Amino acid sequence: MTIELLNMDCVDYLRDCEDNAFDLACVDPPYGIGKALVSGGTGRGFHKMVSSDADKWDIAPEPEYFMEIMRVSKNQIIWGGNYFNLPPCKKPLCWDKIRPNQKNLSEWEYAWTSFEGRAEMFKHCANGGFVGETRIHPTQKPVRLYSWLMENFTDQGDRILDTHLGSGSSAIAAHYGQFDFVGIEIDEDYFNAAKARFEAETAQLDIFG
C-alpha cells in the first residue's frame, strides 16, 4: 500500500498520467457556487468557514479537467455531478446528511458515477460536524462516506485518485482499506492541514492496531 499526498495543480499532474493509470477517481471538485456561499454566510461558526473567500476558491474546473479524469481512470465517482456537464448517469449515489428541515444547507448531496446499476444512498449525519472527526475544511466529507465508497466500488489492490484532497478524509479511508492512493490539493494551507490530520490519524491506527 502506498499513500501519496501532493501539493500541486491536479491538471498538471493528470497531463503526465498514462491512460487508465487509476482504477477509480473519487473526486469532489469545487462546484462553482462560491458567490452563493458568500452571500448566504451568517458570519458565525460553520457558515463563517464556508463563506470566507468562497468566491475565490470555489471555482468549477475547466472541461479539460473532466476529460483528463475520464482518461486516466477506469471508473469515476464525481461529487456535485449535478453542477457539471457530464454524460447521463446510470448509477447515481446520494449522501443523505440526515438533517431535515434545513433552510440554508442541503439535506443531501449527489454523486455522478461511471457505474451501472441501481441508485444507492449512504446515510451519515452532518449536523454539528462528524462524530470523532476534526473539521478542517468547509466542504469536508466524512471518512465513513469514503470508506463506504471504497468498500462498494473497488477491488482489493485497486489504485485510487482524489484530485481535490481537501480535508484528507479520502486518504484516511484509503489507509483503512489498504489501497494505493494519490491525493492532490492545490491550496498549501489546506494541504498542510490535511497532511497533518492524515499523519495523526494513521499514527493512532499504528498504535492501536
pLDDT digits (tens, 9 = 90+) for 52-93: 566 666 788 899 999 999 999 999 999 999 999 999 999 999
- pLDDT tier for residue 130 given thresholds of 50, 70 and 90: low
Using one digit for the tens of pLDDT, what is the confidence trace for 133-185?
Answer: 778 888 889 999 999 999 999 999 999 999 999 999 999 999 999 999 999 99
Asked if residue 196 has pLDDT above 50, the reply is: yes
Domains of the chain with CATH codes: 3-208 (3.40.50.150)
**pLDDT score for 202:** 87
Q: How high is the pLDDT of residue 50?
A: 43
Question: According to the model, what pLDDT value does residue 104 have?
Answer: 64
Lowest-pLDDT choice from 28-37, 40-49, 113-122, 172-181: 40-49
Q: Can you give the pLDDT at residue 51?
A: 43
CA distance 70 to 43: 38
| 3 contacts 175 by C-beta, under 8 angstroms | yes
**CB within 8 A of 13, min separation 6: which ones?**
6, 163, 182, 184
Beta-bridge mates of residue 25: 76, 161
At residue 107 the predicted structure's pLDDT band, cuts being 50, 70 and 90, is: confident
What sign results for the dihedral spanned by CA atoms 119, 122, 123, 124? Answer: negative
pLDDT tens, position by position, 39-60: 444 334 444 444 456 666 678 8
Mean pLDDT score, 186-206: 87
> Which backbone phi and psi does 42 adopt, to 5 degrees?
-100, -10
